[in-house]
């Protein structure tokens, strides 16, 4: 999700453990109270922010892969605790003008599995371990004072329901011996060559991040980028299923989902989440199934998820199920929210994955919260391979990289979270809202163009080959080639490629503005109106038919062709005429098929045919022909001097194209696809607008008349 974090320091009306007096400013309040100073000091000390100085102004700049951390350090600066510099070993902070230097001894970096980070710092002989992280991870590591935890939890919940991102911070003092022991063990592990080194280091961290003292909690607003809600609702209108995969906690995620129209006013979110404390591992599946059944019941769908323990029954069920998407229906008011731990149980169990996707595909949107990067990737993988959907993943952070790599189309947003996502992506954009144009305009154009160009390329090559195949019947299947060698060789490379290259790289059915404004045009692709077996085979059958017309037209049309002198012709004359007709035919076919005729396409088309004629004439000149292709000697001159041949060069392509033209016209007139209808509608409104424009001047004059009269 969009991540344009900006510090929005708010100090909540805390009752406890900190009572803030509303009359004082935060800065003044901070100076008064030690626990507040400690809290902000913590914020300037426990992070991975780098300090830079603007060479021109000398201003301090903070840089970090996590905008949240930058926000925290900036926040502390506002209340007079400034991080001045940071080296590999030390951190210098300034509190109300006094500098304090801390030794940075060890850093446990942030990790999306651990969901926390720690530093060990040293000053005046005392070592401190500072840890900050997600609340559910931190809670068990803090030794709470009485009823402190409930209050903090309540506040964190409040923050989260406002869509804020929360962090819990805690610290403890450690003795020099403990520190040295820890340091020694880390060094030892790091220099070792163990296979599971990382895991062992994690375990080690874990052992020390315990019995911490609560320092405070922060909540940061993750500001949405411009037009996120609009973009998402347009995508949903285009019949694209939008799933949010976020590491945020449930309340935050739901709030953000509401803010960006994923859960719209008339929609209801159903939460799929199970209570882990009260269930044994075996019962987890049953609990999830119960939750799913509740949703089915609520929306009146006669389907029950069964919990099958028996292996045989499972096998049976597996055999029955062919693909995931049996039901194409959508419940427009349903949105499903699922949390990471529950998802963790579902992912990996084929049976439950199936049931989950079956349910999730009914919903208009799905929100998965507290998911790890790995889980993000597995959800995308499931959607891509099991659901057989085309998936697009968009994200801006390093934690989105696995899912961006897994999706069919990975998109990175270049934001404040660094460039990992951008570097892993297929396409990079700088604002989430550009996704709309990327999909509805470029994506749709691209899909249309590629589908047409595939069909066209197959068409023109099958046409050429089938002409040869028909000839094979008449040369005793002896393998004799029909066209003189150089002709097919240059067919694709010179004479027919430029036309379709230019035509299909410029092809578009409606203008980009119209395309952007009509999201349902996008669903034509999902309905397979641009490419399907039927469309593909239509092209292929037509090319076989065209080959038939060209071959037999030439063979029997010129069967005993004689000129005024009475000479009869050879195979090469007939085949070269057929080849010329094919060049004319495929160019004409392209002109019929494309919807976007502009001067570039026309120049490319006419130019390619002219190029063919120039090449052919050069090849057929006696001494060139002797060098390259003796068979072609004089053939094109004779072709140009024979009236029936000249006639057939244009007549045969037209005869061949008659069915194409008829099919195209009749299907567009009497059985228009949804995109055809849309195009017709757009044309109609265009005509209407033209009509309006022509009467507009009159309206204006009328309007000014009325105004001068002071009436109306």
Partner 1 sequence: MENDELLKAKEKKKRLEGNRFKQQTLPAWRPVPTIVSSMITFLVFGVIFLTFGIVLIEFTKDIVEVEYRYDNNCAVGSSCTHTLNIPEDMEQPIMVYYKIDNFFQNHRRYLKSINYSQLKGQNKGVGSLGSCDPIITNKDLGRSTSYGGTPLDPDAPANPCGLIAKTLFTDTYSISDYSIDETNIAWDSDVDDTFGQPANASNIQWVSSIDEHFIVWMRTAGMPNFRKLWGRIRTDIPKGSIALTVNNNYDVSSFDGKKTFILSTTNAFGGKNYLLAICSLVAGSLCFIFALANYLGSWVLKNNKAANEGNNNLHVD
Q: Which residues are annotated as a binding site?
A: 69, 110, 132, 165, 246-248, 370, 376, 396, 399-400
Map tokens 């961290």 to a residue. 205
- 3-state class (DSSP) for residue 645: helix
Nearest 10 degrees: Cα torsion 136, 139, 141, 147: -170
Phi, psi of 221 (to 5 degrees): -80, 130
Q: Considering the rule CB under 8 A, would residue 643 count as an interface residue with partner 1?
A: yes
**432 vs 471, beta carbon nearer partner 1:** 471
Q: Considering the rule CB under 8 A, would residue 450 count as an interface residue with partner 1?
A: no
Q: Considering the rule CB under 8 A, would residue 687 count as an interface residue with partner 1?
A: no
**Cα distance between residue 208 and residue 175, in whole Å:** 12
- Report, in Å, the least distance between residue 625 CB and partner 1: 9
| β-sheet with 242-245: strand ranges across | 242-245, 363-369, 331-339, 268-272
Residues 511-530 that bind partner 1 (CB under 8 A): 511-512
- Report, in Å, the least distance between residue 608 CB and partner 1: 19
**Cα distance between residue 464 and residue 482, in whole Å:** 10
**Cα distance between residue 497 and residue 587, in whole Å:** 10
- Report, in Å, the least distance between residue 595 CB and partner 1: 5
**323 vs 693, beta carbon nearer partner 1:** 693
Chain-centre distance for alpha carbon 536: 27
Total binding residues for partner 1 by CB under 8 A? 67
- 3-state class (DSSP) for residue 694: helix
Residues 548-577 that bind partner 1 (CB under 8 A): 553, 555-575
Q: Considering the rule CB under 8 A, would residue 642 count as an interface residue with partner 1?
A: yes
Rg of the chain in Å (alpha carbons) = 36
Can you list the positions of beta strands (E) in 124-262? 126-133, 164-174, 213-221, 242-245
Q: DSSP string spanning 238-287?
A: TT--EEEE-SS-HHHHHHHHHHTTSS-TT-EEEEE---STT--HHHHHHH
**Cα distance between residue 580 and residue 650, in whole Å:** 10
- Report, in Å, the least distance between residue 505 CB and partner 1: 9
Cα dist from 261 to 236, 352, 369, 695, whole Å:
10, 28, 16, 41
Site string for partner 1, 79-118 (x = CB under 8 A): ----------------------------------------
**617 vs 647, beta carbon nearer partner 1:** 647
- Token couple for 675: 């995109």
Q: Considering the rule CB under 8 A, would residue 670 count as an interface residue with partner 1?
A: yes
Q: Considering the rule CB under 8 A, would residue 683 count as an interface residue with partner 1?
A: yes
Choose one: 29-37, 336-344, 537-545, 640-648; the region binding partner 1 (CB under 8 A).
640-648
Q: Considering the rule CB under 8 A, would residue 333 count as an interface residue with partner 1?
A: no
- Token couple for 359: 């349910």
Residues 603-632 that bind partner 1 (CB under 8 A): 622, 626, 630
**523 vs 555, beta carbon nearer partner 1:** 555
Q: Which residues are annotated as a binding site for Mg(2+)?
A: 396, 400
**Cα distance between residue 589 and residue 458, in whole Å:** 13
Single out the residue of 28, 113, 600, 617 in contact with partner 1 (rule: CB under 8 A). 600
**400 vs 507, beta carbon nearer partner 1:** 507
**Cα distance between residue 25 and residue 20, in whole Å:** 10
Single out the residue of 517, 528, 664, 700 in contact with partner 1 (rule: CB under 8 A). 664
- Report, in Å, the least distance between residue 165 CB and partner 1: 34
* Terminal-residue alpha carbon distance, the chain: 51
Q: Which residues bind partner 1 (CB under 8 A)?
A: 474-476, 478-480, 506, 508-509, 511-512, 553, 555-575, 595-601, 622, 626, 630, 633-634, 642-644, 647-648, 651-652, 654-655, 658, 661-662, 664-666, 668-670, 676, 679-680, 683
């Amino acid at each position: 999700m969009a991540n344009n974090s900006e510090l929005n320091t708010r100090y909540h009306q805390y009752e406890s453990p900190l009572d803030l007096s509303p009359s004082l400013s935060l800065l003044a309040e901070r100076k008064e109270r030690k626990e507040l100073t400690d809290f902000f000091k913590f914020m300037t000390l426990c992070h991975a922010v780098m300090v830079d100085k603007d060479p021109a102004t000398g201003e301090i700049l903070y840089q970090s892969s996590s905008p949240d951390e930058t926000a925290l350090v900036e926040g502390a600066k506002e209340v007079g605790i400034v991080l001045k510099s940071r080296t590999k070993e030390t951190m210098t902070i300034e509190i109300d003008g006094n500098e304090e230097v801390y030794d940075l001894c060890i850093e446990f970096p942030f990790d999306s599995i651990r969901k926390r980070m720690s530093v060990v710092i040293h000053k005046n002989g005392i070592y401190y371990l500072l840890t900050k992280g997600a609340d559910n991870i931190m809670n068990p590591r803090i030794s709470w004072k009485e009823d402190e935890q409930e209050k903090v939890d309540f506040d964190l919940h409040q923050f989260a329901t406002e869509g804020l991102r929360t962090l819990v911070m805690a610290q403890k003092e450690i003795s020099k011996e403990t520190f040295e022991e820890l340091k020694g063990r880390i060094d030892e592990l790091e220099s070792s060559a163990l296979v599971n080194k990382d895991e062992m280091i994690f375990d080690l961290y874990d052992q020390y991040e315990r019995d911490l003292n609560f320092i405070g909690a922060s909540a940061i607003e993750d500001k949405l980028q411009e037009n996120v809600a609009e973009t998402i609702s347009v995508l949903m209108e285009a019949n694209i299923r939008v799933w949010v995969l976020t590491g945020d906690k449930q309340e935050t995620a739901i709030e953000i989902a509401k803010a960006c129209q994923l859960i719209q006013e008339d929609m209801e979110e159903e939460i799929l989440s199970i209570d882990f404390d009260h269930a044994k591992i075996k019962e987890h599946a049953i609990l999830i199934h119960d939750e799913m059944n509740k949703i089915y019941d609520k929306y009146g769908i006669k389907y029950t998820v069964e919990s099958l323990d028996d292996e045989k029954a499972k096998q049976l069920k597996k055999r029955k199920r062919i693909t995931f998407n049996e039901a194409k229906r959508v419940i427009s008011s349903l949105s499903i929210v699922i949390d990471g731990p529950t998802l963790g149980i579902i992912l990996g169990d084929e049976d439950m994955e199936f049931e989950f996707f079956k349910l999730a595909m009914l919903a208009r949107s799905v929100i998965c919260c507290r998911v790890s990067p790995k889980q993000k990737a597995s959800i995308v993988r499931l959607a891509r391979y099991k659901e057989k959907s085309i998936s697009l993943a968009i994200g801006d952070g390093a934690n989105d990289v696995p899912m961006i790599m897994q999706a069919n189309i990975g998109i990175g947003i270049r934001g404040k979270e660094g460039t990992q996502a951008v570097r892993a992506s297929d396409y990079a954009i700088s604002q989430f809202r550009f996704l709309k144009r990327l999909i509805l305009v470029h994506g749709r154009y691209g899909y249309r163009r590629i589908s047409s160009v595939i069909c066209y390329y197959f068409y023109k090559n099958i046409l050429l080959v089938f002409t040869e195949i028909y000839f094979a019947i008449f040369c005793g299947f002896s393998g004799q080639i029909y066209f003189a060698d150089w002709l097919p060789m240059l067919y694709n490379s010179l004479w027919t490629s430029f036309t379709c290259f230019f035509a299909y790289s410029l092809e578009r059915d409606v203008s980009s503005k119209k395309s952007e404004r009509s999201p349902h045009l996008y669903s034509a692709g999902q309905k397979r109106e641009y490419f399907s077996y039927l469309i593909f085979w239509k092209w292929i059958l037509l090319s076989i038919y065209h080959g038939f017309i060209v071959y037999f037209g030439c063979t029997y049309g010129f069967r005993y062709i004689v000129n005024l002198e009475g000479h009869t012709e050879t195979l090469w004359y007939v085949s070269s005429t057929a080849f010329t007709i094919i060049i004319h035919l495929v160019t004409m076919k392209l002109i019929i098929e494309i919807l976007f005729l502009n001067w570039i396409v026309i120049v490319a088309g006419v130019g390619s045919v002219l190029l063919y004629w120039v090449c052919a004439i050069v090849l057929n000149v006696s001494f060139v022909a002797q060098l390259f292709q003796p068979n072609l000697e004089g053939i094109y001159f004779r072709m140009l001097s024979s009236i029936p041949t000249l006639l057939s060069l244009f007549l045969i392509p037209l005869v061949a194209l008659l069915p194409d033209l008829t099919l195209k016209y009749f299907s567009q007139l009497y059985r228009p696809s949804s995109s055809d209808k849309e195009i017709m509608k757009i044309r109609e409104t265009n005509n209407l607008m033209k009509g309006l424009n022509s009467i507009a001047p009159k309206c204006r004059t009328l309007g000014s008349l009325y105004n001068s009269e002071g009436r109306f």
